[in-house]
Structure 1
Amino acid sequence: MNKQSINKLTLFLTGLQSRFTENNSIFKGIYVSFFTGLKEFKGVGHYEDGKIKYNFNGRTEFFDIDNLFKKLMNDAEVYDVLSFIYKERGTDILITADNKNVKMTNTPVSEEELTTNNSSAQKQSHSFGETSTLLNRDYYIKVGKADALLKEIGIMSKEGKIKNDKIRKYNQIDHYVELLEGILDRLPKNQTVNILDCGCGKSYLTFVLNYYLTEVKKKKCHFIGLDYSEGVISASKKMAENLGYRNMEFHAMDINNYMPDKKINVVISLHACDTATDMAMALGVRVNSDVIIAVPCCHRELLNQYSYEPFKGILKHGVFKARMADILTDGMRSLLLEAKGYEVSVVEYISPLETPKNLMIRAIKTKDENAAAMDDYFKLMSSLNVYPALYDYINR
């Protein structure tokens, strides 16, 4: 390849070198083809232990990105044509070069056709209800693009079909992304968004959110998962390794013991039991998180605390008292978040036919404090004779 083409190729590779330095956590690999006449010589490189493991013509070596690109430019001098693909999660960058032209194109990964047969999926057992069928909608987590993710979390078969007994779960995770779509757009731009998942469990929804932010929204993000169970943390680490999601870290520890070493933009708590939800929310408030998302699970704390004389005749029935405790718990959580300067909305996450624990609390930080909401909160504490865990954790 002539000197003019080599110089232009050098400029493109220098740009990719800077891109790799900033976004190596989403780098997937490089694929190189050199041509001389009708002969093709292929090279493949993948990220491994901080280096790129590069195999060319049967020889495997480990390189830093700058030394690898120097090798590619040296090799290009002895070949006529180069085709080079730099793959990131969700994006392929193609460079083609010969003695006449050097071109670079940046394109999304091609989407395969939806392979799931909707009509056959709708023939599932009626016990799943309406949510057991694929919906007539443009999914956020698309079959084709998201196949690797969907297979890893067990929703898709090896053959690329949404499993019949996982269609409901597929609809749920997609609706989860839909409910967060507008909120995600309000997160800081042109910087890494740090997302903390408290009580992460096996982190299925966090993996989904990672995929969507990184590969669809093209946001630079980093995920931190906390859970006291060594087993689920090990499982999450393995899934991240299988998917090549290097922008994730997981720690087996108590939420109350976590001390962030970076700005936390989003705190998530999904189905954390009882006051574990309050621990997560309190952590979000203390670190001044931009967004707090919670889907509470069981509500036991206020059930044995609260009393309200005007409702004495109603609350003598245990089922009424339990349901009222659920409403009061999440209602007071929402009010305290408002008092701490958050704009709060509460929506149904999934159908109540699936589970009665189906509320999602979404809170976006908009100001420092709301004195009026704080006064209302104190009045409720007094009227109901309660001392909620969220208030306790925030003020420790």
Structure 2
Amino acid sequence: MNKQTCDKIKFMLWGLISRIKENRDFIKSINFKFKSGLKVYEGEYEAEESILNFNGRNVKLEVDEVPDFIAGEALNYESLEFILEERGRATILNADNKNVKTRQVDRVDEEMSDHVTSTSKILKREYYVKVGEANELLKEIGILTKDGKIKNDMIRKYNQIDHFVELIDSMIDEISDVDTINILDCACGKSYLTFVLNYYIKEKKKKNCYFIGIDRSKNVIDASRKMARNLGYRNMEFIEGDLNEYKPDRRIDIVISLHACDIATDMALGQAVRVNARAIMCVPCCHRELLSQYRFDELQPILKHGILRARFADLLTDGIRSLLLETQGYRVSVVEYISPLETPKNILIRAVKVADKNHKAIEEYKRLKETLNINPYLERYMNI
């Protein structure tokens, strides 16, 4: 290629280099190949190690030096194809003496197959995280077998996770004005949900994201770290620790919590309030705290039945949680997460920050607290 073409290559590669710097955590591979006649000469650049491999030799090369190297080598060949593959997309630069151009293509796993159609028929819904497209992820978290089929005992889990993605989708759009969406998963457990959201936000929504998972169990944290390494998800960290002691070192945009037991849910909601999270998605688990506290004499003829008293306590607990979030300026909605036929723990609390304080909600909460003789754990995180 002539010098004019090589100068254009260098200029356009500078644009890609800035993208590599900004999105280093999401880079999957950087490959290139030159052609002369029928011969092809391939190379790759390892951004993490700053090593460029070409023609059988490894060269230590900082990312800023790559454009000069490629443009210099291009003088010796007839054409160039340079491919920057990120999670969810690839940018391809093609060059010869006639033209130098770039294009972007969505990255879809080559494992797309009849499983997409058959799965849709079996599970009777349009999935946000689809078998075929997300096979690498779904295999890693145990939803799929090695040959890409959904495990029978994981259909329910797949449904639950995907429905959570459906419910959070519009919330992601509401806060998409930030360069990177930072998400904290409280009492993350095995982190299935976090991995799926990581995939969906980056590879389907094309939005940069960063995830922090925290849990007291060393075993689940170690397992989550291993899965992140296997998937190449470098935009994640997992912390073994106590939610009440944790202080994030970055802005938190969304706090999520799925089936954190009893007051662990309150700890997650309290953490969200403490870091002034812009949005919250929480699916509570068991409810024990208010069952032994609340008193409602007017309903005693009904609540004398233990099962009714327990169920009323469940509703009361999530209702109080929602009201306390409203006191802190959140717009709250409570929806059915999944069918109660699958699990009675099917309530999802969804909240978006819209104001500093809601004084009407504060007064409503104080009256209810006195009427019901309750002292909710969550209140300790609130300035009311």
TM-score range, shorter chain: over 0.9
- TM-score, with structure 1 as normaliser: 0.92
Aligned pair count reads 383
Q: Which residue of 1 aligns with 2:171?
A: 183
Is the partner of 2:292 in helix, strand or coil?
coil
Instruction: After the TM superposition, list the runs of 4 or more consecutive aligned residues in structure 1 that deviate by more than 4 angstroms.
Output: 117-122
Residues 301 and 119 from structure 1, CA distance in 2 versus in 1: closer, same or farther, beyond 3 angstroms? same
Separation in 2, partners of 1:52, 1:146: 29
In the TM superposition, residue 120 of structure 1 has moved relative to its aligned partner by 8.5
Alignment-derived partner of residue 135 in structure 1: 124
Q: CA deviation at 1:301?
A: 0.5
CA–CA separation in structure 2 for the residues paired with 1:316 and 1:392: 30
The letter for the 2-side match of 1:115 is D
Deviations 1:371-393 (A, max 9, x none): 11111111111111100010023
| Alignment partner of 2:215 out of 222, 227, 233 | 227
What runs of 5+ residues in structure 1 fail to find an aligned partner? 123-132
> What 5-or-longer segments of structure 2 have no aligned partner?
none
- Contact 1:115 1:143 (C-alpha < 8 Å) held by counterparts: no
Contact 1:28–1:47 (Cα < 8 Å) also in 2: no
For residues 272 and 178 of structure 2, what CA distance do their matches in structure 1 show? 22
Q: For the residues of structure 1 that align with 2:279 and 2:364, how far apart are their CA atoms? A: 23
Residue number among 331, 347, 351 corresponding to 2:335 in the alignment: 347
Matches within 5 A, 1:66-145: 66-110=64-108, 113-116=112-115, 133-137=122-126, 139-145=127-133
Amino acid of the residue matched to residue 95 of structure 1?
Answer: L
Which of 58, 61, 66 is 1:60 aligned to?
A: 58
Q: Which residue of 2 aligns with 1:320?
A: 308
Shift of 1:369: 1.1
- The structure-2 alpha-carbon separation of the partners of 1:207 and 1:109, relative to structure 1 and needing over 3 Å to count, comes to same
Distance 1:230 1:395, change over 3 A: farther
Question: Does the alignment pair 1:11 with 2:5?
Answer: no
Alignment map for 1:171-210 (pairs within 5 Å): 171-210=159-198
SS at match of 1:326: helix
- Range with bigger deviation, 161-170 or 191-200: 161-170
1:116 is matched by which residue type in structure 2?
H
| Structure 1 residue 114: Cα displacement | 4.2
Aligned partners of 1:107, 1:118: CA distance in 2, in Å?
Answer: 23
Do structure 1's residue 390 and structure 2's residue 378 form an aligned pair?
A: yes
Q: Map Cα deviations across residues 49-84 of structure 1 (whole Å, 9 max, x no partner).
A: xx3443322323443211233322222121111111
On the 8 A contact 1:214/1:221 being kept in 2, the answer is: yes
Counterpart in 1 of 2:142? Answer: 154
Q: Please tell me the residue identity of whatever aligns with 2:19.
A: R
SS of residue in 2 equivalent to 1:43: strand
Question: Percent identity at matched positions?
Answer: 54
Distance 2:130 2:11 in 1: 35
Change (3 A) 1:218 1:255: same
Task: Name the counterpart of 1:40.
Answer: 40
SS at match of 1:246: coil
What amino acid is aligned across from residue 171 of structure 1 in structure 2? N
* CA offset digits 1:125-177 (Å, max 9, x no partner): xxxxxxxx32242x211222211111111112222222333222222221111
Question: Of 286, 289, 293, which aligns to 2:277?
Answer: 289
**Aligned-residue offset at 1:395:** 5.0
Q: Is the 8 A contact 1:86 1:93 kept in 2?
A: yes
Q: After superposition, where does 1:218-367 map in structure 2 within 5 Å?
A: 218-367=206-355
Change (3 A) 1:260 1:226: same
For residue 318 of structure 1, report the CA deviation from its aligned partner.
1.1
Is contact 1:28–1:46 with CA below 8 Å preserved after alignment?
no
User: What one-letter code is carried by the residue in structure 1 that aligns with 2:210?
Assistant: H
Deviations 1:238-261 (Å, cap 9, x if unpaired)? 111111111111110100111122
Q: Tell me whether 295-304 or 184-193 shows the greater mean CA deviation.
A: 184-193
* SS of the residue 1:69 aligns to: helix
